[in-house]
Amino acid sequence: MTYTPATYDDLSCQELVELVTDYLEGAMPDELRLRFERHIERCTGCGAYVEEMRQTIRVTGSLTVEAVTAEAERALLEAFRGFRR
């Protein structure tokens, strides 16, 4: 069967996009989670949107962060030696 928005209209797409993080974080009451899941199964746009959020999170996880600078480390180790004296 073909689904039209009418079949999942108890949650609009505009409402759904604001709930994606609650969903991915597992912070949703069961009843809402079922409506959410029913919606993304039937609505290609929202299915794609949730997939884009997962993709975004995955690629963000591949970024590297700046480490401690040599200068800061030197200063801290010096402070450490001074502190222990």
Does 70 interact with another protein (rule: CB under 8 A)?
no
Which has the closest alpha carbon to 40: 66, 65, 12, 61?
12
Identify residue 41 by its one-letter amino acid code. Answer: E
Tokens at residue 24, please? Answer: 């991915």
Contact between 41 and 47 (Cβ < 8 Å):
yes
x/- string (CB under 8 A) for another protein, residues 18-37? Answer: x-xxx--x-x----------
Please report, as ranges, the residues that interact with another protein according to CB under 8 A.
5-6, 9, 12-15, 17-18, 20-22, 25, 27, 43-46, 48-49, 51-53, 55-63, 65-68, 72-73, 75-77, 79-81, 83-84
